[in-house]
A and B are shown apart, each in its own frame.
Chain A
Amino acid sequence: MKLEHVTQHIYLVLMAALFTIVFGLIFGIIAYLFPKVRKYVIFVFDLFQTIPTLATLGLLMVVFGASPTTVIVGLTLYNLLPVVRNTMVGLMEVAPAIKEAAEGMGMPKMTKLFKVELPLAFPLIFAGMRISLVNSIGSAVMGFFVGGGGLGYVLYRGIRTMNFTFILQGTLTLMAMAIVVDAVMSYYEHKLLPKNQRGV
């Protein structure tokens, strides 16, 4: 295993995470603002998560060719659901009294959204981001099949050449990445909550 594979893997995951967050927030807000499309938005992203990763990547490869772009687009589509859903639910769950107070102060709809609702929904949105990120570390393994490189390559080489060291190195690195990201983000997720809402 070379450092190159680890950095490649991290690059794929981070790029996908970036797009997931941006588009997740956008679609989550759209779903919140327009109750009529809510069902369809969730349905579509649920569909993306249901379709086997390699099938999505294969189909995307038809369009984007064998490249990291394919993997980043695929991972983004695959991981949008948790962010979209948590953004939507988080915004919906802001206490009606607070929303009314903001309206009572004369805030326009958008000011209310950005100054009041989004900050209050943020802990839940952050939880969605954590789920997405941890998931994409694992699913990025499929990336190498479509020319994205990363740790999937190490695993595949290990399996093909029956080299346990490779498999072990690849697996442990993946597990370590997932566990560290999950632990760090869980810590901040906890910190984001107001003191009176934190569990023991």
Chain B
Amino acid sequence: MFDWGMWVRYAPRLMNAILTHFYFVIVSVTIGSVIAVILAIALSRFKKAAKYLMPILGIFQTIPGIVFIGVLFIYIGMRPETVIIALSVYAILPVLKNAYTGIVTVDPALIEAGRGIGMNPWILLWRVELPMALNSIITGIRMSTIYTVSWAVLAAMIGQGGLGEFIYIGINSNMKQFIVMGSIPAALMAIGLGYLIDKVQVKLTPRGLRRN
């Protein structure tokens, strides 16, 4: 299973695949999260509409990522943009759901207090609502990141590289070594990014709100 010679021989290509994979994940999650937070803020201003919209968005989340990539591939073709757009769209949902819940569950007393000291709605959003919802937003980003690392494997399906390439070659030609070479970095990337986001989350939580 561990043919070290092969790891050495394929090191440059593997490094390249890791970087491509990482690039797909970071760009997509960033785009997705920004769109999601903006949408969540907008939706939190229209709670009545959101009550109907959120369950619909939940239904969309049951669509597997392979469909996003597949449909866009048919429209846009075999290009990196296809992967980025598909993964970004997929990354929006968990962040949106968490950010929305985070914003609407901010203690009304805090909002009242903010208003009482003369904050206008924008300042209120920026200084009270978003900081209070931050924890929940980061939880959403963590979910999105982990999903994206997983679905980015499919980029190889339309010839866009990434760690999926190794997994595919391995599965299709029954070369176990390749599967291992693709899977282990992908697993480590997901675990590492998850861990990193956990650390950031603790750092960003005000000391008084930290558990333990």
Residues of chain A having any CB pair with chain B under 8 Å:
47, 49-56, 58-59, 61-62, 66, 134, 137-139, 141-142, 145-146, 152, 155-156, 158-159, 162, 164, 167, 170-171, 174-175, 178-179
Checking B66, B174, B187, B194 against A159 with a beta-carbon cut-off of 8 angstroms, the contacting residue is B66
Sample of 20 further A-B pairs with CB below 8 A, known A52-B190, A167-B71: A47-B191, A50-B191, A51-B190, A52-B187, A54-B153, A55-B182, A59-B180, A61-B179, A134-B62, A137-B62, A138-B62, A141-B64, A145-B171, A152-B66, A155-B70, A156-B66, A156-B157, A170-B67, A171-B63, A174-B63
Of residues 29 through 47 on chain B, the ones whose CB sits less than 8 Å from some CB of chain A are: none
Q: B70 to A179, Cβ gap below 8 A? A: no
Write out the residue numbers on chain A whose beta carbons fall within 8 Å of the beta carbon of B190. Answer: 50-52
Tell me the bound Cα distance from A162 to B191 in angstroms. Answer: 34
The A interface, classified by DSSP as helix, strand, loop or mixed, is helix
Is B49 an interface position by the 8 A CB rule? no
Give min CB distance, B58 to chain A, whole Å.
9
Is B96 an interface position by the 8 A CB rule? no
Write out the residue numbers on chain A whose beta carbons fall within 8 Å of the beta carbon of B167. Answer: 54-55, 58
Q: A174 to B183, Cβ gap below 8 A? A: no
Write out the residue numbers on chain B whose beta carbons fall within 8 Å of the beta carbon of A49. Answer: 146
- How many of chain B's residues have a CB under 8 angstroms from any CB in A? 36
Tell me the bound Cα distance from A141 to B66 in angstroms. Answer: 8
Give min CB distance, A115 to chain B, whole Å.
33
Q: B146 to A50, Cβ gap below 8 A? A: yes
Is B1 an interface position by the 8 A CB rule? yes
Q: B153 to A55, Cβ gap below 8 A? A: yes
Write out the residue numbers on chain B whose beta carbons fall within 8 Å of the beta carbon of A171. Answer: 63-64, 67
Write out the residue numbers on chain B whose beta carbons fall within 8 Å of the beta carbon of A164. Answer: 71, 74
Write out the residue numbers on chain B whose beta carbons fall within 8 Å of the beta carbon of A62. Answer: 1, 176, 179-180
> Which one of A50, A58, A155, A159 has the highest number of Cβ atoms from chain B below 10 Å of its Cβ?
A58
Mark B167-195 against chain A: 1 for CB-CB distance below 8 A, else 0.
10011001010011011101100110010
Tell me the bound Cα distance from A175 to B63 in angstroms. Answer: 6
Give min CB distance, A4 to chain B, whole Å.
19
Write out the residue numbers on chain B whose beta carbons fall within 8 Å of the beta carbon of A66. Answer: 171, 174
Write out the residue numbers on chain B whose beta carbons fall within 8 Å of the beta carbon of A141. Answer: 64, 66
Which chain A residue has the least Cβ–Cβ distance from B167? A58
Write out the residue numbers on chain B whose beta carbons fall within 8 Å of the beta carbon of A170. Answer: 67
Tell me the bound Cα distance from A141 to B163 in angstroms. Answer: 19
Give min CB distance, B199 to chain A, whole Å.
15
> Which one of A55, A56, A156, A178 has the highest number of Cβ atoms from chain B below 10 Å of its Cβ?
A55
Q: A155 to B66, Cβ gap below 8 A? A: yes
Tell me the bound Cα distance from A171 to B59 in angstroms. Answer: 12
Write out the residue numbers on chain B whose beta carbons fall within 8 Å of the beta carbon of A56. Answer: 183, 187
Tell me the bound Cα distance from A33 to B150 in angstroms. Answer: 34
